[in-house]
Structures are given as C-alpha cells and as structure tokens.
Amino acid sequence: MTILVTGGAGYIGSHTCVELLNTGYDVVVVDNLCNSKEEVLHRVKKITGKELKFYKVDLVNKAELTEVFRKEKIDAVIHFAGLKAVGESVSKPLEYYYNNITGTLILCEVMMEFGVYNIVFSSSATVYGNPATVPIREDFPLSATNPYGRTKLMLEEIFRDLYQSDRRWNIVMLRYFNPIGAHKTGLIGEDPKGIPNNIAPYITQVAVGKLDILGVFGDDYDTPDGSGVRDYIHVVDLSIGHVKAIEHIQHNPGIVVYNLGTGKGYSVFDLIKAFSKACRKDIPYVIKPRRVGDIAACYAEPSLARKELHWSAQRDLDEMCEDAWRWQSNYPNGYQNDKEIL
C-alpha cells in the first residue's frame, strides 16, 4: 500500500515517514521544501534502511501534482503540507490562505481525478481558540484568533462539505497538541528557520549556546505555577498516531476528528526543569509579559483516539526532552550540516 505524504520533508512529516516505512508502507513524498531540506529524506532512509520516492512539487501546481499521481499508484494521503507560523500568518494572511487553502483544494481535486478518497489531515488544537475548560474534548466549540488557525478551521469545514457531497471520501482530521522531541537516533528533529517561535526549540538553542536566554511569557496565569500549561507530545507518538489513522481509514468509512495529545498539562517551568535535567545545564530565563494571543492552559482529552484509533501517547516529558536534546546537540545548526553523516 502506497501513502502519499505531503510536507513529508517537514518536522512531523519526516518522523511519520519513518513510522510508515517501518510498518511496511511504501512512501511517496511531495514537498516544495519551502520550510525543509531534502537532506532530511536521506536521513529517513538511513534510519529505516528503506527507500522512499521524493517529488519536489508545490501543491498549488496542479499539473506537477497530477504528474505525481499519474506516475505513482497512491492509496491514501497524509496531508501535512502547509505554512504554520502564527505570527507570520498575521502579517502575510494572503500567503497563508493561498498556500494552505488553495494547496488543499488542488490536492483534493487531483485525488478525485485519480479515484483516491482516503486522506488524513493535520489540524491543530488551535481550532479550540480559548477553551472554557480543560481537558479539551473534540466536541468543544471551535474558533480561531489568527489567519493560521483560520486556515485549519476552514479546511476542517471544507472537508466536512466534501464528505457531504460524496460519501466515497474517508477523512481523518487529527488535532495535534504541542509536538516536541525528535527521533531516538538524533538524526532527524525540528529545524526551525531563524529564531524559534515555539518554546522547545528555543530552550534547546539556549542550552546549545545559540541563544542567550529564554523569555517566559507570563508568570501570572491562573495555573499552578503561573506560567502557561500545554500538552507536549512526543513527535514519534504523534507520528504513530498517523499510522493508526491510516489503518483506521481502511476499515471505517466516514469523516472523523481526533485529538492527538497526552492528556497531561505541563507548565513552562516544568518544561525548563525537564530540559535542564536532560541537558545537564541550567536554562537561564527571564519573565516577560504575556504573549498576545496565548491562553493559560490547553491540554487534550485523548480518550476518543485511544478507543477508536487504539492509540495513546507512550513517551513522557523526560524522554521528549532527552530526544530533543540529542538532536540539537548532534546538529546545532539543524540540517545545515556541521557533521557529515552519509
């Protein structure tokens, strides 16, 4: 069975390619490399000892995408490709709507032309906006506070309309909480461009000496220690969730949505402590004002995925930090190679 992975050179996509190949699927990656490097795919092959096919194609280029479907016999699609920086989406909304929405519309059109109706879509916990309570269940009200979040919300709606129009579609929408960590080998991991916006790569870059000090965005939230609480999930657990979704889609027609989180909330200070332990260094930090748009606490009620996908996160916070640190210390400059490995 062949899975097309859009955005397969990215952070979550590359880890998912490893799990798909290890499970025995054939993998075809489509990525325009706007936020990733082809090197990651060599490392995926090195980790798994298996081949995959790669097409440097932009989803908005319908002719090139059609060519991929013509050449490869695709059975299902996992759709990661998209732009994901919240701040950038506020300053470049048209770019975000064009890339994320148009790219997905074209992907679905081409899938239909080739009779491929199985898709797993990357949504986000951002679609819950500022939830009234935690843990967050899939049936909580949805909202968005920025263009990035709105693309996820709109795409969820578009998928619902698509399913209404044609019941041949089988759609799994996965709402990720906060993926962190890296593959155990330390060969692949998160490689953000420029100064990281997200906390985990920021901390590891402080630990490795690339950044001076972490800013903690607020210590006066209504949380146990005053800092923001999130559901950090190991990227390998998240990737295994996609393999389970691909298994599910083959036997359970319809459209479904699942939270992929651990169900546990950790604060910024918990994370700093866990990373200090993993890298055996103090992480210097300074308290800063709250970041606009941040919420106090966000963690999943993950039991629906446990029940229906037979999936639950297995890796704890210490393991997430150890694995992220191994990747960061092996490759301080990410895929901008300082060590030749191949």
**DSSP, residue by residue, 156-215:** HHHHHHHHHH-TT-EEEEEEE-EEE---TTSSS----SSS-SSHHHHHHHHHTTSSS-EE
Q: By C-beta, is 230 or 326 nearer to ligand NAD?
A: 230
Q: By C-beta, is 226 or 335 nearer to ligand NAD?
A: 335
Using alpha carbons only, give the angle 151, 86, 29 rounded to the nearest 5 degrees: 65
Residue nearest to ligand UD1 (CB): 228
Q: Which of 18, 47, 59, 256 binds ligand NAD (CB under 6 A)?
A: 59
Residue 148 appears among annotated catalytic residues: yes
Residue nearest to ligand NAD (CB): 10
Q: By C-beta, is 84 or 264 nearer to ligand NAD?
A: 84
Q: Which helix (H) or strand (E) holds 17?
A: helix 11-23
**Taking phi first (over 0 means left), then psi (-120 to 50 degrees means alpha), and beta for anything else, what does residue 254 get?**
left
Distance CA 108, CA 48 (A): 30
Site string for ligand NAD, 114-153 (x = CB under 6 A): --------x-x-----------------------------
Q: Which of 25, 54, 80, 232 binds ligand NAD (CB under 6 A)?
A: 80
35 interface partner picked from ligand UD1, ligand NAD, none, CB below 5 to 8 A per type: ligand NAD
Q: Which helix (H) or strand (E) holds 154?
A: helix 147-165
Q: Which helix (H) or strand (E) holds 241?
A: helix 235-251
Q: By C-beta, is 118 or 262 nearer to ligand UD1?
A: 262
User: Under the criterion CB under 6 A, does residue 90 sit at the interface with ligand NAD?
Assistant: no
User: Under the criterion CB under 6 A, does residue 107 sit at the interface with ligand NAD?
Assistant: no
291 interface partner picked from ligand UD1, ligand NAD, none, CB below 5 to 8 A per type: ligand UD1
Q: Which of 82, 189, 201, 302 binds ligand NAD (CB under 6 A)?
A: 82
Pairing of strands 266-267, 229-230: antiparallel
Shortest distance, position 268 Cβ to ligand UD1, whole Å:
5
Q: Which residue is associated with the tokens 């519309």?
A: 105
Q: Is 129 exposed, middle or buried (0-12, 13-18, 19+ CB in 10 A)?
A: middle
Q: How far is CA 218 from the centre of its chain?
A: 25
Task: Identify the active-site residue in 25, 117, 148, 202.
Answer: 148
Closest CA to 256 of 141, 108, 139: 139
230 interface partner picked from ligand NAD, ligand UD1, none, CB below 5 to 8 A per type: ligand UD1
Q: How far is residue 10 from each of residues 36, 127, 267, 323, measured CA to CA in Å?
A: 5, 21, 26, 17
Shortest distance, position 126 Cβ to ligand NAD, whole Å:
7
User: Under the criterion CB under 6 A, does residue 16 sit at the interface with ligand NAD?
Assistant: no
Tell me which residues are annotated as active site. 148
User: Which residue ranges make up the site for ligand NAD (CB under 6 A)?
Assistant: 7, 9-13, 30-36, 58-60, 80-84, 99, 103, 122, 124, 176, 178-179
